[in-house]
Amino acid sequence: MVWTKKDLLGLEYLSREEIEHILYTAASFKEVTTRQIKKVPALRGKTVVNLFYEPSTRTRISFELAAKRLSADVINVAVESSSVRKGETLIDTGKNIEALKIDIIVVRHDCSGAPNILARSVKASVVNAGDGWHEHPTQALLDMFTLKSKLGRIEGLNVSIIGDIAHSRVARSNIWGLTKLGAKVTVCAPKMLIPEGVEKMGVAVTNDLDEAIKEADAINVLRMQLERDTSGAFPTKIDFFKQYGISEERLKRCKKDIVVMHPGPINRGVEMSSGVADGQNSVILEQVTNGIAVRMAVLYLVAHVKR
């Protein structure tokens, strides 16, 4: 397949074939990460900037490692995000970075759509490392990669996404990706955390956790962000765990080899018990490992785009 997308802004904008091509490419890079010498020269002479407007350790490290294993030079830039930010606008920052002859900008931003705006202002490739509540495409890609390597396929799987769907970019990217690849997706959350019209994205919606997990081949449990503004009616931690938390007991009622995923970092005892997080069905640490291969694939593809 000839890669024609300059940027990776979200899975909404990719075709099934393009998503499959990223996963296919990631598989060969996965092999690289298991070698003694974990480095290939694919991006030698290319420069990647990690432009992070929102604090993140794991995603930033994962992108940094991915770039380094492809022999790219990497620069990390942390910027404070604010509407009254003194100095540069996002577009000016992007143009200045580009003037330094950077090839790829990996951007994390608390404003939905910031990568879209950046991408049309610069010639460099833009990779979305998470924007507001919008998309986190590499997270969904690594979730799908993990799922595929565990269960051999995506098509026809029942996948339930559980937790704060309304404020989750991970949920949105997973919904786009999984439905394009033919999975049956259910989202499960208390009513106020289900965003308006989400069923139009091709998913089933339920407020009942037991219903969501009953037939599931895999569950993706979202991080509960209790610090978020959700207009007061938010369940308390303990209430949330009782109703929507994944406990060992609940897991017993699921398919025996159900795959349990979590994008991290986990709130143990809120969305998931420690027993589940560390248990046999959990693939949480494999997700982290796979993240590097998937991000290598994304950086590789956008760097070699046919314009």
Q: Between the CA of residue 66 and those of 78, 94, 101, 283, 288, what are the distances in Å?
A: 18, 21, 20, 20, 12
Please state the closest distance from residue 116 (CB atom) to other proteins, in A.
5
Site string for other proteins, 156-185 (x = CB under 8 A): ----------x--x--x-------------
Using the minimum distance from each CB to other proteins, give the nearer residue, 115 or 291: 115
Any residues with CB less than 8 A from the CB of 122 and at least 6 apart, and which?
94, 95, 97, 98, 105
Question: Which two three-digit tokens encode residue 6?
Answer: 């300059």
Strand pairing report for 204-206 and 104-109: unpaired
Q: Is 148 in the site for other proteins (CB under 8 A)?
A: no
Of 91, 100, 238, 305, the residue at the interface with other proteins (CB under 8 A) is: 91
Q: Is 6 in the site for other proteins (CB under 8 A)?
A: no
Dihedral sign from CA coordinates of 139, 290, 219, 222? negative
Question: What would you report as the CA-atom Rg of the chain, rounded to the nearest whole angstrom?
Answer: 19
Please state the closest distance from residue 263 (CB atom) to other proteins, in A.
16
Of 65, 75, 117, 205, the residue at the interface with other proteins (CB under 8 A) is: 117
Please state the closest distance from residue 121 (CB atom) to other proteins, in A.
8
Q: What are phi and psi of 40, to 5 degrees?
A: -125, 155
Using the minimum distance from each CB to other proteins, give the nearer residue, 32 or 117: 117
Q: Is 202 in the site for other proteins (CB under 8 A)?
A: no
Of 201, 204, 205, 226, the residue at the interface with other proteins (CB under 8 A) is: 201
- Choose among 302, 283, 279: nearest CA to 144: 283
Q: Is 111 in the site for other proteins (CB under 8 A)?
A: yes
Cα angle vertex 28, ends 25, 29, to 5°?
90
**Residues in the site for other proteins, rule: CB under 8 A?**
12, 83, 89-91, 109, 111-114, 116-117, 131-135, 166, 169, 172, 195-198, 200-201, 231
